[in-house]
Structures are given as structure tokens and as C-alpha cells.
Amino acid sequence: MWRSRIGASERRPQQGQAARLRTVERYIFRRVAIASLSAFAAILAVVWVTQAVTRIDFATGSAGSIGAFLTMMVLLTPQFVTLTLPFGLLIGTVNVLNAMNADSEMPVMAGSGIGRMAFARPVLIVAVALGATVFLVSHLVEPRANRAVRDIVTDLRTDLLATLIQDGRFTEVEDGLTIYVDRKDAGGRLSGVMIADKRNPETHLLQFAQEAVVDDSGDVSLLVLREGQLHRTEVATGQVSIIRFQSYAVDLARFGSATGSHTYLPHERETAYLLDPDANDPTLNTWPGLARGELHRRLSEWLYPILFALVALVLAGQPRSHRTTSIMTVVLAFGAGLGYRWGSYFAYNTIKIDGALFWLLYAVPLGGIALSVLMYLRGWTVAVPDRAMLAVQRFAGKLGGPSRAGAAAS
């Protein structure tokens, strides 16, 4: 009987400590989740507006083109989500941990015997949940949305003479495709037309015509060029062939791709296609490693929320008794996130040339995860040197000096 009483009394403190740990973890989980989603929404809004401004030319013209433009921007949102969601987690986690240090919550918890894993566990749970979201969006939602965007862009370009082309202006429809019209007459007749198409890396086309007209009478929309020339340049040899024509019809759907056919790029393909791509795909013939690079990009993308969560824990997850490094911690965290992202983009561009280097897409996040885990478990952190902090404070003081002086004088 005495042994049972002693065992019960020993279990009570252990049960109390476990309850405290669960309470602390739920508290951190709730704050990190809310802060991360808020930061993600803000970053996504900035990226969405920025991209909308760069594509605003698609909204010029008729009301139908404006509706297509808005639809296109909505369909681009999944692509922005996979990019901004890890950064939202990074900024949100750093802000929460900084606030807990500033309010002395983290030092008090650490002093009461709560270990660093109690801080890391809820953060990593949020990271895994967001990583699963990125994985699903990358494989299921983003490819279909990108393919729908391509269809919309092709339809817009089919009607580009009514929506984009302006008199006396060189209009870059896309990279490598430029159209110039000297004058748009009544009835849709065009005078002084020039089309420069350099999208095909092997052959460049340059077309001149005294006049042109759009023919929508058939199943396809045609741009009929009259009294002109077609200059075909072989890039490898520099040889130029010139063809004079009285009438020449161009399928406007050709402006959707460099090959004249409606083909999709690897980032617009389903994952199943990337696992077994078509050997005759013209894009993959030009860039043999592009399909493999896109496949492994999707397979590695979900690792970045976990990596960014660990970066936040390394930079802000240690108990601190001072508050001067909070702003610099956010700067360091954001800089580290950009550094890892630039590394992944470099790896992706390298794989376009040599598909055998696909492992680089895993080396960047997994290497960062291993380094961050080691630093966090060992208690290592990254801090700004005191001299640099003093220099920043002096600079900030100089910027705020005149306003404070003016306020004091008034």
C-alpha cells in the first residue's frame, strides 16, 4: 500500500509536467499557424499584384479580354502559393519567436525546465502540414492551372490584333515574338505589317507585308499577309533565304508556340507525363533535361517549408534576454530563405542542360535541413556582430534625428 501511494505521488509531477508541455506546444502551434498564414496572405497579395501589373497589357482592349486576364491571374495563384507559402512560414515563425523572447515568455519557459524540443515540435508540425499542402498543389493543382493559363493566352493571342496591337508601336507579344503595325484602317485592314519571330533557337523568321487582314470565316483565325517577303535565317550557319509572296496566310494560333502547334511546356504537364515523356516532344528535344528538372522540382518543393521552419528556429528559437536583435533576425531569416531559393533556381537551370544533375534539387534543401538541425540541437545560432548593430543604430539615429529635433523644438 505504501509503495502504491509513493508511485502515485511520483506520477503526479510527471503528469503535471506533461500537461504543461502540451499546453505550451498548443500555445506555440496556434500562434505560429496564425502568424504564418497572415504573413503568407500578405506576401501572396504583393506577388499577385506585382505579377498582375507586369501582365496588364493582356487587359487592354475589349471587356472580354479583361475577363480573360482576371481568369488568368486567378489560375496563376497556385504557382504563387508554392513560392510564397514557405516564406510566410519563415516570417511568421520568426515574428512569433521574437515576440516570445521580447515578452520574456521563452526565457521563463526555458528556466522552468521546458526543453528546446517543446518549441520546435509545434513549429515542425505546422511546417509538415504546409509542406503537404505544397506537395499537393505542385502535383495536382499547379500543372492543370498552368495548362489552363496557356489555353487562355493562346486564345488572347488569336485575338491579339484587336486587343494588343497599336498603331506605330513595336509590341512584344512574348519573349522572341514582336509585331509592328504601321496603321490600323477601318474594317480591320492593317498597313505596314512586320512580324519578327525568334522563339525557335534554330530558325528565325522575319515577315514584311504591305497590308494584312484577319480572316475568321473558317474554323481557324488567319492573318492574311499581302505583297510581302519572308526572311528565314538558319541560326547555326547564318544562311538567309528570302521568299516573296503575293498572299501568305498565318494561323494566329501559331503565336501560342514557336513551332506553330499547340504544345504544352513541362511545367504545364501532369506528373505522370513527366515520368514517361513523349520522345517527340519538341520542347524536350531542345532542352533534354527540362522534364526531369520539372519532375524533381515538384518532388523536392515540399521540403522548403520544413527547411524554412528550421532556419527560423536556429535564428530565433533560442531564449534571449535582450531585444535588440529582433529586426536583424527577420533580415537574416529572409536573406537565408532567398539564398536557398536562389540555390534551387540555379540547380533547376543547370538541370536543363544536364539532366543527370537532378540530385542538386534535393541537395539544396536537404543540406540546409541537416545544417539547421545540427545548429539547433547544438544550440548554435547566428548573430549580427555588435559593431554592425551599433552602425545600424547610429544610421537609424541619423535618419530619425531631424524629426526628433523638430518635434522637440515645436
Give the Cα separation of 182 and 255 in Å (integer): 20
pLDDT of residue 168: 79
* Helices 303-316 and 326-353: angle between axes, nearest 10 degrees: 150
**3-state class of 229 per DSSP?**
strand
pLDDT of residue 17: 57
Cα separation of 394 and 389, whole Å? Answer: 9
CA distance 146 to 80: 11
Are the beta carbons of 202 and 175 closer than 8 angstroms?
Answer: no
- Count Cβ neighbours within 10 Å for each residue of 315-332 and write b for 16 or more, e otherwise: bbbbbbeeeebbebbbeb
Residue 137: the pLDDT is 96
pLDDT at site 262: 56
- Give the pLDDT score at 83: 93
Whether this prediction's pTM lies above 0.85 is answered by no
Give the Cβ contact number of residue 370 at 10 Å.
Answer: 12
Q: Which pLDDT tens digit goes with each residue over 106-147? A: 888 877 778 888 899 999 999 999 999 999 999 999 999 999
Q: Do residues 194 and 177 touch, judged by C-beta distance below 8 A?
A: no
- Which amino acid makes up residue 314? V
- H helix or E strand, kind and range, residue 182: strand 177-184
Low-confidence residues in the chain, pLDDT < 50: 1-3, 5-6, 8-10, 61-63, 257-261, 324, 403-410
